[in-house]
Amino acid sequence: MALLLGSCDLVTPDDIINPTVDETAFLNSDNPMQTWVNGTEKELALRMSDYVELMEILSDNYFNNYTRSSKVFDIPQLLYTDADVATLQRHVGALREMADYGLTTVAAADAHTTDAQRFHLLWIKAYSHLLAGDFFRALPSENGGPAVTWQQHLQLALEVLEQALPLAQSDEDRALIHTLAARAAHRMGNRPLAEEHATQALTLKSDLLWQVRFDNKNGVLNGAQEAIWGDWFQPLPRLDFLDPKYYQMSSSDQCPINLAKAEENYLILAEAATARNDVAGAKKQLSALLALVKSRPVQTGINDQLEQRYNGGLKAFPNDPAYRVQASPVDPLRQGLIIDRRPPMLITIPYVSGTSVTQDMIDALQDHDSALEMVYLMRQEVFFAEGRRPADLGIRLPLCEVEAAHAMSDDDYTQAWIPPFVPLNYGLDDFTVDDQAMTVTITHNMNRVIADNARTADVAPFE
């Protein structure tokens, strides 16, 4: 309880924190539910920054070229004894328990509890189940309970979202619920349900953007920003044009993290059309997605001149826009994926969504496999630096050591699941540079790998 009450520090009046407040005093204070909701949202922001930081290096998006953050997720090596695995798992449980405590104990103590407050706690609870369903093999779904599978967590997310929907206060709220439900149904492979929710979300708000925000004044900081804006992480060269999604125009800037956006719904509808072998329908959805991405804001005038693409000295990354990049040794070379950060250049970065895909590329799609590869390329670029990519690669974290000792289960979930087609030994981040020809060759085009393995149980859930 002391840990949970610590979440309320952000909203104490006049920045005064009283560490001696106990549960009884808190529940009998003025407006405890609003304090609890604010505190829960604060915790969601902090936990999401951890997820983004660690999930981005557990993918082909970023390589940790520095000494801070995980040095094994890049391999990937995912041990049930790893402290980062345990931390991510605890975040899921903490968010769920905070939401439940608010919905039960705090709501019972505060006669002024509103539907809007219940709505916020319910969607955060559902989001905790989404995190479990996206990234873990199994986790407990209640305090002290047995480990349940990722599929069960996604089903629980859908059930909680259904409870939240009648409490929504606006079309934006309702679009959020349908977008999260579409995400859960997509991962479960329930194509009709995912299409239903995605379509409804776009009908309600075709440009939905739902973010968690940070507060530099009160020390609620985006840890992923420190890694991405700083000199820890280096992007795969073909994603260079999207980095840094989190930046600082002043020393106090803390960029938000996108949690739900309309782009996801177009991507789900495009993937559903592809699964039906309706390439024309997929192209229609991808074209609509591209129009939305082009309408999203960008930040101009970013001074990223200290970024030398060799920070840490572990591996040199190209830092000259003259380099052309190919997604694999058999893919065409493309210009414009690496941008010029060298003095005196200032850069422009999309901070909601960006993509290298053009309308001509979409128009040229001819078959199922090329369309599916395009869907996953756009998923990678649109969700870049949002901590989503490992789920698309089929990677799942194990049940951590402490939880495994207490969570009753007939199955051993202490081994991570890394699909056999995911390259090990840093292969996800591997590339070669030809300085004479000024070309960069990515070793593995993982979007094609996804398309090639679409009929396995690990990736492309609709196939």
**Amino acid 2: pLDDT:** 39
Yes or no: say if 42 and 428 are a contact pair by the CB < 8 Å rule. no
Pull the structure tokens for residue 174.
């309702």
Using CB atoms within 10 A of its CB, is residue 133 exposed (0-12), middle (13-18) or buried (19+)?
A: buried
The pLDDT profile of the chain, 463 residues, written as one tens digit per residue, is 434 443 343 333 344 455 556 888 899 888 999 999 999 999 999 999 999 999 999 999 999 988 789 999 999 999 999 999 999 999 999 999 999 999 999 999 999 999 999 999 999 999 999 999 999 999 999 988 899 999 999 999 999 999 999 999 999 999 999 999 999 999 999 999 999 999 999 999 999 999 999 998 888 999 999 999 988 899 999 999 999 999 999 989 999 999 999 999 999 999 999 999 999 999 999 999 999 999 999 999 999 998 888 765 667 899 999 999 999 999 999 999 999 999 999 999 999 999 999 999 999 999 999 999 999 999 999 999 999 999 999 999 999 998 888 766 667 899 999 999 999 999 999 999 999 999 999 999 999 999 999 999 999 999 9
230: which residues sit within 8 A by CB, 6+ positions away? none
Q: What is the rounded CA–CA span in Å between residue 131 and residue 136?
A: 8
**Amino acid 306: pLDDT:** 86
**Amino acid 23: pLDDT:** 87
Yes or no: say if 448 and 330 are a contact pair by the CB < 8 Å rule. no
Chain-centroid distance, C-alpha 182: 15
The candidate with the shortest Cα–Cα distance to 307, out of 381, 227, 382, 427, is 227
Amino acid code (one letter) for 449:
V
The CA angle 323-329-334, to the nearest 5 degrees, is 35
DSSP 429: G
User: Which conformational region is residue 393 in: left (phi greater than 0), alpha (psi within -120 to 50 degrees), or beta?
Assistant: alpha
118: which residues sit within 8 A by CB, 6+ positions away? 103, 107, 164, 167
Cα torsion at 361, 364, 367, 369 (round to 10°)? -20
Amino acid code (one letter) for 283:
K
Give how far Cα 105 sits from Cα of 31, 38, 119, 129, 305, Å. 13, 16, 16, 21, 51
Can you tell me which residue has the tokens 């931390």? 87
- The 3 state secondary structure assigned to 41-101 is HHHHHHHHHHHHHHHHHCCCCEEECCCCCCCCCCCCCCECCCHHHHHHHHHHHHHHHHHHH
Q: What is the rounded CA–CA span in Å between residue 339 and residue 254?
A: 23
